[in-house]
Chain A
Amino acid sequence: MDVPQAQGLARIGKTVVIKGEVSGAEDLYIEGQVEGTVDLQNHVVTVGPTGHVRAGVKAKSIIVQGKVDGSLTASDRLDLRQSAVVNGDVTTQRIAVEEGAFLKGKVDIQKEIGKSASK
C-alpha cells in the first residue's frame, strides 16, 4: 500500500523511534517505532507495514499493517490488514480482519466507546 499523501497527515518515518506520549489533532501514519501511548481520539492512526508500536493506541479509526504490542481502542473502526500482527486487547465498534492477520488478545465490541470512556 502506498503511503498516503493527504494533507493533514502526520508521519513517523521508518527510521524514527519515539518513546513517550504521542497525541495530536490530525491523522497519523506510523512507519517507525513508538513506545508509550498514542492518543488521537478523533482521527485515524495507521501502523504501516514497517511500523512497530509498543503502546496503547486510542483513535477514531485504527488501521494495522505492521506490528502492535499493546491495546487498541478505536471508537469507530479497527482494520487488521493481511500483514498485521497484534498482541493485545482490542476494543472497537466495528472490526475487519483480512486473511493472514494475526491477533492475540481479547476482542471487545462496544457500541458507544466514546460515551463509555467519558464515564
Chain B
Amino acid sequence: MMKLFRSSSNETAAPAARTKLTRRSSGIGEISRVLNSQEGLYVLDVGATSANNIQFFTSHGHKNYSEDLLRASLDPALRAQDSTGKPTVDSKKFLDENLVYRNEQFDIVLSWNLADYMEESLVKPTIDRFWSVLKPGGLLLAFFHTRDAGPESACYRYHVTGTDMLEMQEVRFALPGRPASEKQSPRLQRVFNNRHIENLFRDFASIKFFLARDNIREVLVVR
C-alpha cells in the first residue's frame, strides 16, 4: 500500500512550515483572461476549501463549486482488499461519491497538484471524470512536480490572490482515529514526465506546458 503521508511532518515539530509562500502562475494568468472575457462561467475547484478562491471567482460573477478531492481520496472507507488479499482503493466508490455532476457542466476545472499526491489507481479515473464534466473548449489547470522534487516535497494548497498570483499553504490532514494535533502532510506519490502527462490527458484537445523556476510544471489542457 502506498505511503500516503510524509515521514517527518508532525504539525508540532514544524511550525515554520505553516508560513504561506507566493508564486506567480502563468496558468492562473491564462484562466484570469478567460474569466474577464466571459460572464457566468462554472468553475470547479478540487483543492482544499479556500475563501480566497471562492471570493475570487464569485466576485467576477462566476459560479464556484468546491470539492476537496485529495482529502476525499484519503477516506478509509475506500480502502479494500482484492481477491488475493492485496490492499486496493475502490475507484468506483470514489467516483460514485465525488465529482457527481452532469456532463459538460464546467467551463474551468482547477485540479492543482491532485495527480501528484492522489492514490495511483484513482488518478486516471479522476482525469476521465474531469473530461466528462468539462464543456467542450473548457480548461483544466494542473500542477506537476518536476523530477527535481524529492518524496518529502511539501504538499501545498493554492489560494488565488491576484490575476496571476498564488499563495501556497502547506496541507496537513488529521489521520482517522488520531488527534487533531497529529496532522500530517500528504506524501508526493509520483513524478510525471512530459510523456506521462501527455498520455494522462490524451483525450483532451490540446495541452500547454508552463515551466517555472521552482520545481513545478503548470499544465493547461483544453477539453
Residues 91 to 118 of chain A near chain B (Cβ within 8 Å): 95-99, 101-109
A107 near B67 (CB under 8 angstroms)? no
Bound CA span A105–B55, Å: 15
Residues on the A chain within 8 Å of B58, using CB: 107-109
Does chain A have a CB within 8 A of B71?
yes
**Contact A104 B66, CB 8 Å, known A95-B54, A96-B51, A97-B51:** yes
Task: Say which size band chain A's interface belongs to.
Answer: 10 to 19
- Most chain B CB within 10 A, of A96, A97, A98, A108, is at A97
**Contact A106 B63, CB 8 Å, known A95-B54, A97-B54:** yes
CB distance from B17 to the nearest CB of A (A): 14
- Interface SS of chain A: helix, strand, loop or mixed? strand
Does chain A have a CB within 8 A of B189?
no
Does chain A have a CB within 8 A of B146?
no
Bound CA span A102–B58, Å: 18
Residue of A nearest to B42 (CB): A106
Residue of B nearest to A99 (CB): B169
B63 near A103 (CB under 8 angstroms)? no
Does chain A have a CB within 8 A of B163?
no
Residues on the A chain within 8 Å of B51, using CB: 95-98
B54 near A107 (CB under 8 angstroms)? yes
CB distance from A22 to the nearest CB of B (A): 26
CB distance from B18 to the nearest CB of A (A): 9
Bound CA span A86–B63, Å: 18
Residue of A nearest to B174 (CB): A100
- Within 8 Å by CB of A107, from B65, B68, B71, lies B65
Bound CA span A99–B49, Å: 8
- Within 8 Å by CB of B49, from A97, A106, A108, A109, lies A97
Which A residues are within 8 Å of any B CB, using their own CB?
Answer: 80, 95-99, 101-109
| A-B CB contact pairs (8 Å), 13 listed | A95-B54, A95-B55, A97-B50, A97-B51, A98-B51, A104-B68, A105-B65, A106-B63, A106-B64, A106-B65, A107-B58, A107-B63, A107-B65
Known: A95-B54, A107-B65. 9 other contacts (CB 8 A): A95-B55, A96-B51, A97-B51, A99-B169, A101-B49, A102-B68, A105-B65, A107-B66, A108-B58
